[in-house]
Amino acid sequence: MPKTILIIEDEQTIVDILKFHLEREGYACEYACDGQEGLRMALSLNPDLILLDIMLPVLDGFEVCRSLRGRGVQTPVVMLTAREDEADKVFGLELGADDYVTKPFSLAELSARIKANIRRTAEPADGALPRAAHGEPSNELCYGGLTLHLGRMEAYRDGGALELTQREYDLLQFLAQNADQVFSREELLERVWNYEYYGDLRTVDVTVRRLRGKIEENPAEPRYIVTRRGAGYLFKS
Ligand code: CA
């Protein structure tokens, strides 16, 4: 079954280019030319990934993304931004978007991003499960008041379920499974985001900041995800 990509974009030329290119790469494409139609199609088609323009008629891309996440839809969303300052907004507004590319984008770059984002959700982070005291594989990681259920991909703080996006969870699990090791932002992009060739390092900082806002008692003085200046991040056991 080919993976389905929903393109929500009002510029027909861009839609045509994207469709042509993505179908040649083996994806099935659907498209909507305004935000409201896009939202409706995202909910009814359940695509594998959504390419979402920001400036759209009726509902803009920010509203579409927020609305999807508000309904619990966790489909990876890659925002198509026209300017760098829009890119900042994508993460600044905490919409739950997974990634963005800035127009004009290279098709090779876009393909790599799409592949990485689809792979993230199709294959949850692997890596050896930690061992419990009696030697059996454990499905839980506990540090202080923080608990991760690896099988269910859920995290709890002091018993309360945390609302984490897929990427936030992946980052938390990766760091927690490798507690007390420092990872550079480049390493995290490669290991958690699956970016092999390039990547925007700010993506890591923004995701760490969002994660701290959800898991830390005091995000300004984090107990779990600590910054090592000039080196990267580590999870403190
Ligand atoms: Ca547009």
Taking the CA atoms of 5, 25, 198 and 127 in sequence, report the sign of the dihedral they define: positive
Q: Which pLDDT belongs to residue 135?
A: 40
In the reported structure, the alpha carbon of residue 99 is separated from the centroid of ligand 1 by a whole-number distance in angstroms of 17
Q: Is the dihedral of CA 70, 74, 80, 86 positive or negative?
A: positive
Q: What is the Å distance from ligand 1's center to 64 Cα?
A: 13
Can you state the angle between helices 201-215 and 185-192, rounded to 10 degrees?
A: 80
Q: Return the number of other C-beta atoms located less than 10 Å from residue 105's C-beta.
A: 17
- The CA distance from 114 to 127, in Å, is 23
Identify the residue whose tokens are 């393109």. 7
Ligand 1 centroid–CA 68 distance in Å is 19
Q: What is the pTM of this model?
A: 0.60
Q: What is the pLDDT along the chain (237 residues), one digit of tens a residue?
A: 899 999 999 999 999 999 999 999 999 999 999 999 999 999 999 999 999 999 999 999 999 998 998 888 889 999 998 877 777 677 656 777 888 888 888 888 899 889 888 887 665 444 434 433 344 445 888 888 899 988 778 899 988 899 888 889 999 999 998 888 999 998 898 888 877 656 678 889 989 999 999 999 999 999 999 999 889 999 998
Read out DSSP for 58-80? SS-HHHHHHHHHHTT----EEEE
Report CA(198)–ligand 1 centroid distance (Å).
26
Cα-to-centroid distance, 65 and ligand 1 (Å): 15
Question: According to the model, what pLDDT value does residue 136 have?
Answer: 44
Give me ligand 1 centre to Cα 61, in Å.
9
CA pair distance 50, 42, nearest whole angstrom: 8
In the reported structure, the alpha carbon of residue 56 is separated from the centroid of ligand 1 by a whole-number distance in angstroms of 5
Alpha helices of the chain — where are they, by DSSP H? 12-24, 35-45, 61-70, 84-92, 107-122, 166-177, 185-192, 201-215
Ligand 1 centre to CA of 101 (Å) is 14
Give the three-class secondary structure for 210. helix
What is the model's pLDDT at position 109?
A: 85
